[in-house]
Chains A and B, each alone.
Chain A
Amino acid sequence: MISHSSTPRSLLLAGAFLSAFTLTAAAQQPAAPAAAGASPAAAPALPPGSPLIGRPAGNEAAAKLAPNAPPPIPAAPDKLPTAKLKVPAGFNIEVYAAGMANARSLAMGDKGTVFVGSRLVDKVYAIVNKDGKREVKVLASGLYRPNGIAFKDGTLYITELSKVSKIDKVEDVLDSPPKPTVIYDKLPKDEAHGWKFIGIGPDGKLYVPVGQPGNNVLHDDDHGQIRRMNLDGSGAEVIARGVRNTVGFDWHPATKQLYFTDNGRDWMSEDVPEDELNRIAKGGEHFGAPFCLQGNIVDPEFGWGKSCSDFTAPVGLLGPHSAALGMRFYTGSMFPKTYKNVAIIARHGSWNRTKKVGGDVVVVKLNKDGTMKSMEPLITGFLEDNKYIGRPVDVLPMKDGSLLVSDDWNGAVYRVTYGKQKVADKQ
C-alpha cells in the first residue's frame, strides 16, 4: 500500500531501533490479528455496552457529549485544586494524601491505614501513618480494574472486574504484601459497569454488585443486581435486582437497612432520569432498571407493557446524570449535631448533559420513614466553567469524625474537618 523506496534512512534507523529491543520484544509480540482463522461470529443477542448506544442521531448538542477520561498522571500536591474547593462555614478541607493515580474507593484499617482502590490503573494503595507523617505505598499492582475494597477484622477485600480476593492481616504486611488470594470469581467479565464498589454489612457478609452491561440493555440473570456472600466467597445469593450500576452503599446506623446509590441511564434526555438513592427494606426487591426509571418513568424502549408500580421506587433522587457514587452514613461527633446519621454522597459529575451536574459532595438527610428529605452541598468547586478540575468518588468518615474524600481526576484524597483544628490533631 505504501512505498518504502523513498525513505531508506528511516528504515535503517527503524531496523536499528528494533534490534536494540529484540530480546524484550520477542516475549511480548502481540498475537496475530484475531481475524485470521476466526469464524464470522454472529453479533451477540444482547446489545453491546457502548455508552453511546441510544444517542439521538443528527443532534449537534448531543454529539458533543462523551465520557470524560481523567488525566493519567496524578496532580502534584501543589497543583491540587484544594484552594478552589468550597465547604460550608466552619468546615475546613485539606489534602490528606496525593500522588495516587486514579484514586477511587476508600476503606479504613483497624490500625489507621487508609486503603485506596483504582479503576483505570492496576493498583491498590495504602496511606500509612508513621511518626506523624503520611506515606503512600503501593499495596498491590497488576490488578484489573481494582475499584472495590473493604476491610474487616484485619483482612482487606479487593474486587477487580470479575473476581474478589483478599489479603489477611494486611496492616502487618504493608512493607512486603503477598499477592491477594482469590475467594470468588463467578462474576461476568463485561467492561461496561464491570468495576465494582464493595462493602461488608452488619450481617458480616460481603456485598458485591454486578452492573448492567451497557447503558440501557436487557440482560441475563447474572447482571443488574447486588449479591452478598460469606467472607470466604461461599454462599453467594442475589439480594436485589433491577440495579443498573451502584458504585456506593452503606447501612443505616439505626435501622441497619442497606442504602445504595444507582446511576440512571443516559441519552434519554438532559434532565431525566435522575440517579437514585435506594433502600433494601426486606431483600429480594427489584428496583426497576431497565424497565422503570427513577420510580416513575417507564423506559421509552423497554417499559412497554410494564408499570412502575411493579417495582420498588427509590427513596430519593440525586440529580440527572450526576453519577452519585460513594456514600456513607455519618456517625462521628466532629461535625455539627445536624449531621448525625446523614448520608454523605460523592457525586462524580455528569458527562451526558450539556450543563454538567454534580462534581460535588452532598449531604442527604432522611425523613423518619427513611425516605429522602433534603439534599444540600458539602463540598463544591470541582466544576469550573463546565469543566472538571477534580471529581469526587468516595467518602469515608474517620474515627475522629473527620471525612476523607477521594478524587480520581487528581489522584488525591482530601480530609474535611469542622471547627478550629489544633496542632494536636497531627498526633
Chain B
Amino acid sequence: MRKPILALAFASIAFSANAETIEQRAAPCLACHGEKGQSETENTPSLGGQQAPYTLIQLFMFREKLRTFGPMNEMAKALTDDDLRLFSDFIAKIPKPAAPTEAGDPARLQRGQALVQQHRCDTCHNPDLSGKENVPRIANQREDYLAKTLAEYKDNSRHGYDGSMADVLAPITPEQITDLAYFVAHMR
C-alpha cells in the first residue's frame, strides 16, 4: 500500500514545485541517489559533493534527451532552466561520498592507480579525482556505476557532452575498466 502513495506523492511534485523548498523537491532524487550523498542503489551514482557545472550539464542532457535513461529523462522533463541550476547547486553542497574503511585489494588498487596515471585522468578530474567545473567528482563513486559508465563511454552508447571520454576510453580494455573502477571507488 505504501508504494503507490509515495509514487503519487512524487508525481505531484511537478505541480506543487513552487510551494516547496529545494530540500523537499530533492527528496525523491536522494531516495535513489542516497540521502547522505552516498548511493546505496545498484548502478545509481552517488551525488554528494558533485561539481555543480557538471550536474547542470547532466540534468540539461537528461531534459533534452541527449543522455537517455528513462527515469531521469522523465524526472527532468518539466524542469526549467532555473530548476536545473537550483538542483545542481543543492547537490554540490551534499557531503561527498566517504572513502571505504577497509584498505582493499592492493594488487587491483595498484593496477587501477597506474591506469589513472597512464591515461591522465588526474589532469581533468584533479589529482584527488574530486573534479573541477564541468568535469565530475569520481572519487569514491560506486564501483558498479563507474564500470558501467566507462563501458558506455567506450562503446559510445553514452554520449558525453563533448567527445573527451570516448577518446580516452578507446585504448582501454574491459579488464582495465574493472581495475579503474575498483581503484576510483576504493581510493583513500
Contact = CB atoms under 8 A, between A and B. Distances in A.
Interface of A: 1-2, 4, 7, 10-21, 24-31, 33-35, 38, 40-44, 47-53, 55, 63, 66-69, 71-73, 119-122, 144, 189-192, 194, 214
Given A16-B7, A24-B71, A69 B148 contact: no
Given A18-B32, A24-B70, A41-B173, A73 B60 contact: yes
A25 B161 contact: no
B106 interface: no
Contact of A69 (B2, B68, B158, B161): B161
Contact of B66 (A21, A66, A121): A121
B178 to A, nearest CB: 6
Nearest to A6: B40
B135 A66 contact: yes
Nearest to B172: A43
Contacts of A71: 53, 56
Interface of B: 2-4, 6-7, 10-11, 27-28, 30-32, 34-35, 40-41, 53, 56-57, 60-61, 64, 66, 68-71, 73-75, 81, 84-85, 119-120, 122-124, 132-135, 142-143, 147-148, 151-152, 154-159, 161-164, 166-168, 170-175, 177-178
B64 A17 contact: no
18 contacts: A7-B35, A7-B40, A10-B31, A10-B35, A16-B3, A21-B70, A25-B69, A26-B70, A30-B152, A33-B152, A35-B175, A35-B177, A50-B119, A52-B120, A69-B57, A190-B167, A191-B166, A191-B167
A212 B155 CA distance: 20
Contacts of A10: 30-31, 34-35, 40
A30 B148 CA distance: 9
B24 to A, nearest CB: 13
Contacts of A73: 56, 60, 81, 84-85
Contacts of B57: 69, 72
B124 A33 contact: no
Contact of B10 (A20, A27, A66, A68): A20
Nearest to B57: A72
A200 B64 CA distance: 31
A63 to B, nearest CB: 6
